[in-house]
């Protein structure tokens, strides 16, 4: 009986062990299954995120790295399958929403997993930035010279009456009496020099920030030289006079090193075919011809009428053209222009531009707004010919002939050399030039910053798409 009892205990013990081991195996097997499912789910999440990124990149490639303001591709990015070894594992799609002239939102979605049950979405904010509307002055030349009494931009006004004297039109100053600029760098006038910035005369003032890829040089022993802002210089500071660099804020050193990451590089090339294809006056883009044009607002003030004359004295009208409210004019040749702009207009000439009189907006504000802005783009030189002149907008001179200066005030209204002097020149807006400037014929030169151009650019300016932020939604 004892032997049989021992066999019974052994049998029960073995059965118990089998049950325990089976249970443990089942538990571990179940845990392994769950872990595999978790891994698969995480893989699906990762694939969905990668698909969403692919959708964003696809939409961004459709926008392109270089486009033109007013002509951004805003069509949705179609759904695309993503495959591994020929097997589709996920899909992506994206929408584009233009929320302003200089910002677009991409919302991309990626789906993955069996039956595509896993979905993830990204929202990407893209800045559509142009050096033509960003910089108050952009000089793409080996050296740019600033002569006597050149003033760039303006100091802040005491619009909030911080000193409590009731005058909101006086200049805002710090405790030492130095004129102030905006504390926010993004609100300041910006000047960019691809080479040296040479300060040759006295009384030169900048109310804003300067970026210099070469040297910042005071070439002569001159005084009364001020940068009311910050400087970013890749080369050296060379001063033979007294140059004061101070933005009046206790934010550390106002002299910085311009890094390669901050450098802009060369100006984008113009695609003449683009301007020919969107020309609001197609006949201007045919055979090379000199045009004499005057801009006149429509009766309702919403668009511009272009009057064409047969001579630069504007004595004989030969044609009139009614533009759309957003217009691009391409002239194959050079053009003499003056007048008042209603709506948004960009004029691009393959050769020279002769400014025969003031160029202003019809809004009466002395600056651009959401319905008024203009750009005047010359393939070669811009000549400012009138004795007294106000010019509002963006002015680009490509100086393809490499003869003389990109901006030149040495001519008369008839195009002859001006042997005398001129009076007052005021530019409210931006100057973009490939070459130097020769504006010394004007006894008084005032260059004023128009911050509204940055958010209200005219059509047809080269822009680049830059990612500002990415977030999952």
The pLDDT tens digits for 124-141 are 999 988 999 999 999 999
Mode of pairing for the β-strands spanning 243-245 and 255-257: unpaired
138 with 125, same domain: the answer is: no
Number of other residues whose CB lies within 10 A of the CB of residue 182? 18
For 54, counting Cβ atoms within 10 Å of its Cβ (0-12 exposed, 13-18 middle, 19+ buried), the class is: buried
What is the pLDDT at residue 357?
97
| pLDDT < 70 stretches in the chain | 1-10, 26, 28-37, 39, 64-66, 114-116, 241, 403
Q: Where does residue 28 fall: left (phi above 0), alpha (psi -120 to 50 degrees), or beta otherwise?
A: alpha
Residues 126 and 218 in one domain: no
Query: Which residues contact residue 138 at a Cβ distance below 8 angstroms, ignoring those fewer than 6 apart?
Result: 131, 132, 191, 192, 264, 267, 430, 431, 432, 433
**Do 231 and 119 fall into the same domain?**
no
Cα separation, 431 vs 137, whole angstroms: 5
Q: Which residues, in sequence order, are bridge partners of residue 67?
A: 463
Whether residue 139 sits in one domain with residue 107: no
Coil, helix or strand at residue 215: coil
Q: What is the pLDDT of residues 252-261, one digit of tens each?
A: 889 999 999 8
Instruction: Tell me, yes or no, whether 113 and 169 share the same domain.
Output: no
What confidence score (pLDDT) does residue 36 get? 67
393 and 310, same structural domain? Answer: yes
Please indicate, yes or no, whether residues 104 and 197 belong to a single structural domain of this protein. no
Provide the pairing of β-strand 291-297 with 304-309. antiparallel
Q: Do 112 and 156 fall within a single domain?
A: no
Are 106 and 73 in a shared domain? yes
Domain of residue 216 covers 134-458
Number of domains in the chain: 2
**Tens-digit pLDDT profile for residues 354-401:** 999 999 999 989 899 999 999 999 999 999 999 999 999 999 999 877
From the list 122, 113, 146, the residue with the least C-alpha distance to 218 is 146
pLDDT of residue 323: 98
User: Are 215 and 109 in a shared domain?
Assistant: no
Same domain, 326 and 275: yes
Token pair for 90 = 């996920």
Kindly state the tokens that stand for 123.
């929202």
- Indicate if 110 and 178 belong to the same structural domain: no
């Amino acid at each position: 009986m004892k032997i049989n009892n021992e066999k019974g205990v052994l049998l029960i013990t073995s059965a118990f062990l089998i049950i325990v081991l089976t249970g443990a195996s089942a538990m571990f097997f179940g845990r392994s299954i769950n872990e595999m499912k978790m891994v698969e789910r995480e893989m699906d999440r990762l694939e969905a995120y990668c698909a969403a990124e692919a959708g964003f990149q696809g939409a961004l490639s459709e926008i392109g790295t270089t486009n033109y303001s007013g002509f951004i591709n805003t069509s949705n990015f179609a759904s695309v399958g993503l495959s591994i070894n020929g097997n589709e594992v996920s899909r992506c799609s994206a929408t584009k929403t233009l929320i302003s002239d200089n910002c677009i939102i991409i919302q991309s979605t990626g789906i993955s997993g069996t039956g595509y049950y896993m979905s993830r979405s990204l929202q990407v904010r893209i800045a559509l930035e142009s050096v033509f509307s960003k910089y108050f002055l952009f000089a793409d030349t080996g050296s740019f010279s600033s002569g006597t009494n050149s003033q760039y931009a303006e100091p802040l006004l005491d619009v909030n009456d911080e000193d409590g004297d009731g005058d909101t039109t006086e200049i805002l100053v710090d405790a030492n009496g130095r004129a102030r600029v905006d504390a926010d760098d993004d609100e300041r006038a910006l000047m960019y020099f691809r080479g040296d910035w040479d300060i040759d005369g006295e009384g030169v003032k900048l109310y804003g920030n300067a970026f210099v890829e070469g040297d910042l040089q005071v070439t002569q022993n001159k005084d009364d030289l001020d940068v009311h802002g910050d400087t970013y210089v890749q080369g050296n500071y060379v001063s033979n006079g007294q140059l004061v660099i101070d933005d009046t804020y206790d934010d550390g050193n106002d002299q910085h090193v311009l890094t390669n990451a901050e450098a802009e590089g060369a100006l984008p090339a113009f695609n003449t075919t683009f301007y020919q294809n969107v020309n609001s006056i197609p006949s201007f883009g045919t055979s090379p011809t000199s045009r004499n044009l005057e801009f006149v607002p429509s009766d309702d003030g919403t668009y511009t009428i272009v009057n064409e004359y047969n001579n630069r004295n504007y004595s004989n009208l030969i044609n009139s053209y009614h533009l759309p409210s957003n217009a691009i004019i391409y002239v194959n040749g050079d053009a003499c222009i003056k007048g008042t702009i209603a709506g948004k207009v960009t004029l691009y000439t393959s050769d020279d531009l002769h400014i025969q009189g003031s160029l202003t907006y019809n809004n009466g504000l002395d600056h651009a707004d959401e319905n008024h802005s203009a750009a005047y783009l010359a393939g070669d030189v811009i000549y400012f010919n009138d004795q007294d002149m106000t010019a509002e907008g963006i002015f680009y001179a490509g100086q393809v002939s490499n003869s003389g200066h990109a901006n030149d005030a040495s001519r008369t209204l008839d195009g002859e050399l001006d042997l005398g002097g001129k009076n007052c020149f005021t530019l409210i807006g931006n100057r973009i030039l490939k070459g130097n400037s020769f504006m010394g014929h004007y006894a008084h030169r005032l260059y004023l910053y128009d911050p509204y151009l940055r958010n209200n650019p005219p059509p047809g300016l080269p822009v680049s798409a830059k990612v500002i932020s990415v977030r999952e939604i």
